[in-house]
Amino acid sequence: MLNGKIKILACAVVIEELRSKLPAEIECETLDFGLHRIPEKLKASLQEAIDKSSDFDTIVLAYGLCGQAVLGLQSRSATLVVPRADDCIAIFLGSREAYLKEQHENPGSLFLSKGWIEGRIDDSAEPPKMPHYKLMVERYGEERAQRMQAVYAGKYRLKHYKRMAFINTSSETNLDEYRETARRRADRLNLRYEEIHGSTAFMEKIAKGLWDDEFVVVPAGRPISFKDFWPDADKATMPQSETEPQ
């Protein structure tokens, strides 16, 4: 049940699916999707938003682990709540169990959802410049910097991936526009296109304040740690996943 004054900090990708489920009295702040490209920048922006939200009892981070960007975040006055998920793929699939099943049965997949498509700013096929590209030019010269950029772009394009999976978590019946966008991206990356069923379970729990064992709940004054997410992580290797190239 929702108790006290609650604020949600949400990625632009997740908010597209979450907003309609939230009670009107819950304040929600949306952070730019592009922050995911540099986890340390995402971490800094989240901490800044948390620090500016000192008059709330609970702050929900509608994120996953997200490249470990949420690790170390803390609030002096509010309880922090985060889905126990590797990234937003697990949120759209409804559970980490469903996420792990998908990873096991369909390795080599990139994922899209309505929220991913709506939340994106750049729809270009071109990869972004590698971090600190201008500094590399100054330090090594344009020619060598371009070679380094080529290596970066090659890794970025994730050529070993085989499938583009559109996760349908929306109750809307007309998703043709989003499906077509996903198909175009699949064609552009030479991937086969499939549509898979997602779940709103995580988002329903966020909206209703049901913090069960699929959520990390951290009291005020303590930073979020890796063990909060995966207490038994030292006993098993965690799978890696990627979302659709940014």
pLDDT for residue 144: 78
pLDDT for residue 237: 47
Q: Provide the domain limits for residue 119.
A: 94-197
Assess whether pLDDT exceeds 50 at residue 46: yes
Considering the domain architecture, whether residues 83 and 103 belong to the same structural domain is answered as no
Considering the domain architecture, whether residues 102 and 77 belong to the same structural domain is answered as no
| Residue 244 domain flag | no
Considering the domain architecture, whether residues 160 and 226 belong to the same structural domain is answered as no
Considering the domain architecture, whether residues 22 and 61 belong to the same structural domain is answered as yes
Considering the domain architecture, whether residues 18 and 82 belong to the same structural domain is answered as yes
Considering the domain architecture, whether residues 116 and 24 belong to the same structural domain is answered as no
User: Binning pLDDT at 50, 70 and 90, where does residue 1 land?
Assistant: low
| Residue 240 domain flag | no
Considering the domain architecture, whether residues 71 and 100 belong to the same structural domain is answered as no
CA 20 to chain centre: 19
Q: Percentage of the chain surpassing pLDDT 90? A: 42
Considering the domain architecture, whether residues 133 and 191 belong to the same structural domain is answered as yes
Assess whether pLDDT exceeds 50 at residue 246: no
Least confident of 90-94, 100-104, 172-176, 213-217: 172-176
Considering the domain architecture, whether residues 127 and 192 belong to the same structural domain is answered as yes
Over residues 117-164, the pLDDT tens digits come to 876 644 444 555 666 667 777 777 888 777 776 666 655 555 678 899
* Total domains in the fold of the chain: 2
In this structure, what token pair is assigned to residue 78? Answer: 């509010």
| Residue 148 domain flag | yes
Asked if 94 and 110 touch (Cβ cutoff 8 Å), the reply is no
Average pLDDT of 78-96? 92
| Residue 224 domain flag | yes
d(CA 80, CA 6): 10
Instruction: Name the average pLDDT for the chain.
Output: 83
CB atoms closer than 10 angstroms to residue 192: 11
Average pLDDT of 216-223? 96
d(CA 169, CA 201): 10
| Residue 241 domain flag | no
| Residue 242 domain flag | no
The contacts of residue 5 (CB under 8 Å, 6+ apart) are: 55, 56, 57, 58
Considering the domain architecture, whether residues 221 and 157 belong to the same structural domain is answered as no
Instruction: Indicate the pairing of strand 79-83 with strand 58-62.
Output: parallel
Considering the domain architecture, whether residues 42 and 126 belong to the same structural domain is answered as no
